[in-house]
Chains A and B, each alone.
Chain A
Amino acid sequence: MGKGRGKKVPRSSDLNITSMMDMFTIILVFLLKSFSAEGSILTNADNLVLPNSESKKKPQEVNLQVAVTNDMILVDNLPIVPTEDVRKIPADDPDPSAAKLEEKLRACMAQEEEMVRVGALNAVQGKVIVQVDKNIDFDVLFKVMNTCGKVGYNNMNFAVMEREE
């Protein structure tokens, strides 16, 4: 009897990892499902909630991001101008433009043109991804879009959240 117990003790010291392996395999499958090779190009700013949409179009790599939150307008994640200042631009201005934003965008445009000159880019694309908080009024959106268009960023993409099925 005593001999038998002595033999059993070393055997039961093995950890039974079969169930853990099962778990890992399932986790692995789920993670592979949501795997994205591109990584997220868009970075979320604080208090920026994108609207839900049925669009399935994937965002492409772009050089410039403009984010409009309730209190700040950001270009490439750098705060540029308070949204309140943009709201203050008179609504009946036929060509509204946020001066600081325009200045920053012109600098980005100049950089893009420089890259074309050096040969790093083929042509000036004028592409911009605009991330707008879903509670922003159209007034601000229009002024920001007008400013982008004025500088030469004509190719706009609005970032949205894909609706869950």
Chain B
Amino acid sequence: MANKPRKKVMTSNDMDLKPFMNLMVVLIPMLLISAEFAKVAVIDIKLPEARGSQTKQAVTEPPKEDKSEKLLLTAIITDSVVTLGAKGGFLPSLFYREYHHYIAKDDKEDFTVEYEPGKVPKHPKTGREMQIYERYDIYLYVCDEQRNTMNRLYTKYNELVTNTAYEPVEKVNVGDTVLALTNPRRTIIVKDPAEFELKPLSAYDELQNRLMKIKERYREAEDGNDIIIAAENEVIYDKIVQIMDKARAAEFPNISIAKLRS
């Protein structure tokens, strides 16, 4: 008899979690609704230069532009070339080969094929024609006149490695000082050459490298933050966005868009 009251105390020792549960049941659906899983961002853009003639003028009338101290930096992209022009001059063109990275909707097969105009890539196992919306990324690899891609060193964080003259390198030795393509460039003293990986040189990375060189030299220019991206009609929007990214990474935030007339 004397034991009975003590037992009752034991059972009521548990915390009453019911109100907390109620709160959870309400909170979780509410948070689930307002959660954002795919983050959307925006890119600011200035209007296209009127009828694309601005780039043409910049190219055909260099003496006039020289007087005004304007840089008039233009990134030009066509179906096989990426290049930079400023003050009526051009840097050597970067010829590229285009590779498309697909992820199949049905079996998540992940593969990269070289793009050939007018040819639809096939699924490597089932032979099914791939849909355009399954294309996940477009890679542009720099190539020479014989269309051989160039392999250059990348860090394990996928940053291009350049020497101190800002040229991408193929080989490093122990003790060399190299720079990784970040903004500002990161200095690395090579301890183990095996840390670096040879990969095909991406045209986007080389473009960023060149843009950063230009930024360094012409920081004082009147339009030192401006860049015009001129594209041909057939260029895919994705490539333009990638170039905008590289332009912003190299501190050219005022982007405008122009059209290349063939």
Contacts and interface: CB of A to CB of B under 8 A. Distances in A.
Interface residues of B, number: 48
Contact of A47 (B45, B133, B235, B248): B133
A162 B39 contact: yes
B236 A138 contact: yes
B35 A55 contact: no
A141 interface: yes
Nearest to A62: B42
B233 A55 contact: no
Given A28-B28, A34-B36, A145-B47, A135 B236 contact: yes
Interface stretch (B19-27, B115-123, B220-228): B19-27
Contacts of A138: 231-237, 240, 259
Contacts, number: 148
A17 interface: yes
Contacts of A11: 11
B43 A21 contact: no
A54 to B, nearest CB: 5
B40 A40 contact: yes
A58 interface: yes
A135 B31 contact: no
The 5 closest A-B pairs by CB, nearest first: A31-B31, A139-B233, A157-B42, A162-B39, A134-B238
11 contacts: A28-B27, A51-B237, A52-B137, A55-B41, A57-B42, A138-B236, A138-B259, A141-B240, A145-B48, A157-B43, A160-B41
